[in-house]
Structure 1
Amino acid sequence: MNGFGTLDAWVGRTIGLEHLPSRADIDAYQLRCLNETIAYARSQSPFYRLRTTWPERHDLVKLSDIARLPLTTADDLVRNDPSLIALPMRDAVRLVTIPTSGTSGRQKRLFFTEADIEATVAYFEHGMATIVRPGSCVAVAFPAQRPDSVGDLLMRGLTRLGAFPVALPVDSSLDVLVSALRELQPAAIAGMPVTLGAAARRMETDGGGQLRIETALVSADSVSPSFKAALAVLWGTEVFEHWGMTETGYGGALSCEAHDGLHIRETDLYLEIVDANTAEVLPAGRQGEIVVTSLRRRGLPLIRYRTGDSGCIAETPCRCGSVLRRVRLGGRIGEPISFGEGARFPADLIDDAIFAVDGVVDFSVELRTGRQACLAIHVMAEPRTIEDVRSALVHHQIVGPWLQSEKVNIAVELASGSTLSLCRKRKVMVTHGEE
């Protein structure tokens, strides 16, 4: 594998250079693209043209000047009145509708042009070149049946790379997925943590033997230390994290062999970190909300879009030698788990504690609030594992003291494998009871 020198070289070609880019080269490219995007959005997008909170002078002299511009939110996308779209709908290659967690029926609609799709395929091709060898068989554990879906675009990028991608039956049962993996014997795999973790743990317990998978690209959800450790032990796998969302054109940032943050897709995105409460731009090293601005999109340009994800920009250059900036992710999307009276902690602490228990194949978490809160854990495992899960949570250094209090119950029970989707984010379901 060629490492991030390969990706930097592609970035240099993409931004019009005949040499490896320096940090100054990328900054100059991003400043030029930001000014072009702002001017284009102000002239072509009804939403940005009609915004009344823009400063009179909105051209940027330096990158930090972007902080003068107002933020764009998910609510703006949902409302879409006035529309953010800057091209006629006939120019759309793909329209993506994303349900939100708010009022029933609220949806975000994303608009992709042919150029947007091509930029994503190229990013996947050159990003995967840092972790996959040409000629390798790669198992793709994302839904890939729909044209221009994330799985389809990833497979197209891998094919250009010279690898041999194969879509796994992620819409089938776990046993069918495991059987397909054993037959395929891939050198690499890509998918969500829930999917890959469940497959590895089922292989550990079903008597059919494990695989040896060199590398795994894990995306679309937070990645716990216990998950990485499990894949290293069970499959011999080095896990590479990827961050992205539909709003970023799927691709966003990718870890390297140093595993110290994720290198940002700076050909297409400019990232800022802002205080989630005050919207103040934070310096490198300070954690806050990730805000993105698209650099080359013409169908649906996004300027200072609040992602709802947390992270910080790394302060120092990466040991791998790449000049691309890095983002260190700050945990799970959304609010932390709260038991009231100051008991608030990231949901991924619970994920890490549970998946560290040997024999746990999959699980879901439900927080029932009310007069007495209850943390309900539904575990796919052998019955004897139930008490091990309870013990891991109750004795956890951070979570344990709250679960031991009289105001919180913990219920751990077996879950049927058929009730847990293989392609899902591990979110905590919150149900409200009597106060």
Structure 2
Amino acid sequence: MATDITDTVHAADAAAVMGLLPARPRLLALGEPTHGAEALLDVRNELFRQLVEEEGFRTIAIESDCLTGLAVDDYVTAGTGTLDDAVKQGISHGWGDYAGNRELVRWMRAHNDGRPASERVRFAGFDGPLEITHATSPRHPLTALHGFLAARVDADLLPCTADTLDRLLGDDDRWTDPAAMTDPSRSAGRSAEAARLRLHADDLAALLDQQAPHLRTVSTPDDLDRARLYGRTATGLLRYHHWMADTSPSRMRRLVAARDHMMADNLLALADRGPALVHGHNAHFQRTMSAMRMGGAPVHWWSAGALVSARLGEQYAFVATALGTLRHQGVDTPPPDTVEGLLYAFPKTPCVIDAPRLATTLATTPPTRRESPWFGYAPLDPAHLARTDALIFVKDVPRA
């Protein structure tokens, strides 16, 4: 058995990862089992550097706010602002504080300095403007989309005025109230104003498509891409707020599905720019249905990766990451009958494993799924190996 497993293990570099994929992907998704582990961010950064230098990749997207991420892209491509501002304001969830994310942005800016636009690397966030405690107001993407169109198309084609949007949006606090996350009655998502806004957002996004031939002649490609981002973000946010106001038992399932749907739309847009490396939690990238317990009840939904895979086929690739120890969080040496335990015996990490071949090797003696003592770490599910293109294993993750 040890020999069979050894045959599936390779050095963790871009050439080895690409060699395990069935086709050259437009999107290469690198998952992680926990957020904020600097050792995992180091692996991601080195892999991206190699993909840029050896495989022609030009974009990286991380699980961060798609709108604030525009500031990071402006910094790495044009030097707009400062490194401090880019990581603190442009990377959401507080993840701009991680040294690995700061180093990624610093390297991208240094790489781009003096290069022509066609050779520059780009940054994107692929998450919606959502936090654990609340969702943001749809004001920014909705008014930005309206402003883009108002400057370029006949006024009588617009479904509403900017003043109408402002009146319907009202005070932003009504959209961002943290109490709405657990109390649907506190949400503005099903108010009469929200219903009108959903119609206006849909009409504005449709107008963007209807006027595409004209807009291409009067806009830069980047400006048009941003307008499309504003459109899908505005409609996605209003949909998310709508389900925040839901009182049915399926409320949380609707919310997590809406979030991954927004992620999938952003990833598919990046695929048009591809090839791109995208980095986030394993649960957002797996091809199988995602599951977690919320409020004591199981919640199941299709992840962004499952949705994207259904559209792109072999042009979507998923590389999961597993780890051995995270001792400062109580995650000690993995049991030997788990996948992590079997891989922990190998001395050299990080390493990349042929996941489908490993699944076949382990089929006669299926490993057990590891149990996590800490809520912030999700062990690998052995049942997912066959539908994972490759697996990167990091043996020990020290405290940052």
TM-score range, shorter chain: under 0.3
TM-score by length of 1: 0.25
TM-score by length of 2: 0.26
Which has the larger share of strand? 1
